[in-house]
Amino acid sequence: GHEQLAPGAWLLRGFARDVASTLLADVARVAQVAPFRHLVTPGGYTMSVAMTNCGRIGWTSEARGYRYASSDPGTGRQWPDLPESFADLARRAAEAAGFADFDPDACLINRYVPGARLSLHQDRDENDRTAPIVSVSLGVPAVFQFGGLSRSDKPARYRLEHGDVVVWGGPSRFAYHGVLPVAEGFHPETGNLRINITFRKVF
Ligand code: MD5
Ligand code: FE
């Protein structure tokens, strides 16, 4: 079922379940070329979530700020190509939520161990403010916080499970959001990890 969380925000439960194994194999291939690493925020805090990217450009954080870069600062090499399985899923999910012809140029992969979290934030580093963000959850579940356009809006909570996809577009594109510390758990395909893949159109 397609559940509307707010204007422009659609939760597609289980949408990626049947391709999840393929997605995870492709995550592993990406990580062989562009290893996961813990980025440091401009505030000097090392993130508990490990990250890597694929596609034309990737999101990184450094002391001087957040930015999109066409090469991996960790290796100096270009980010790996967007796997076909990723591009196909992103496009189909966007379409199912009413966003035709989604053509992402950036794909951020987040890896959570138990206890890892993402504090409440907005995604504002993308130049294209009309395209949605498509997010795929894999592995152990997490509690997602979905707030409003003001940091002080009390967030709603949603449990996101293996294969769930959320499309954040329209007025929800700039809502505050976060991930509560991931609990100890086990998933047959990821062990104790949660993996989240986000597809974005930056330019
Ligand atoms: C995650 N990642 O579960 C989330 C999924 C990130 C991030 O937040 O920045 O890497 S993407 C959730 C998202 C994106 C854009 C808008 C909204 C949520 N929203 O309006 O709630 O690792
Ligand atoms: Fe975010």
| Domain membership of residue 89 as a residue range | 2-200
Please give the tally of structural domains in the chain: 1
Grouping H, G, I as helix, E, B as strand and the rest as coil, residue 1 is coil
- What is the pTM (predicted TM-score) of this model? 0.98
Residues near ion ligand 2 (Cβ under 5 Å) = 123
Q: What angle in degrees, to the nearest 10, is found between the helix axes of 84-96 and 20-33?
A: 130
pLDDT surpassing 80 at residue 176: yes
Instruction: Tell me the pLDDT tens digit for each residue of 153-171.
Output: 999 999 999 999 999 999 9
Compute, in angstroms, the gap from residue 203 CA to the centroid of ligand 1. Answer: 18
Tell me how far apart the alpha carbons of residues 31 and 79 are, in angstroms, rounded to a whole number.
10
Compute, in angstroms, the gap from residue 121 CA to the centroid of ligand 2. Answer: 6
Q: Please give the average per-residue pLDDT across 8-37, as a whole number.
A: 98
- Could you report the predicted ipTM of this complex, rounded to two decimals? 0.99
Ligand 1 binding pocket (C-beta < 6 A) is: 108, 110, 118, 123, 133, 135, 146, 168, 172-173, 175, 177, 179, 196, 198
Buried/exposed 154-166: b ≥16 CB within 10 Å, e otherwise:
ebeebebbbbbbb
Domain of 119, CATH number, reads 2.60.120.590
Tell me how far apart the alpha carbons of residues 133 and 114 are, in angstroms, rounded to a whole number.
25
Rg of the chain on CA atoms, in Å = 16
Nearest-CA residue for ligand 1 atom 7 is: 178
CB 75 within 8 A of CB 62: no
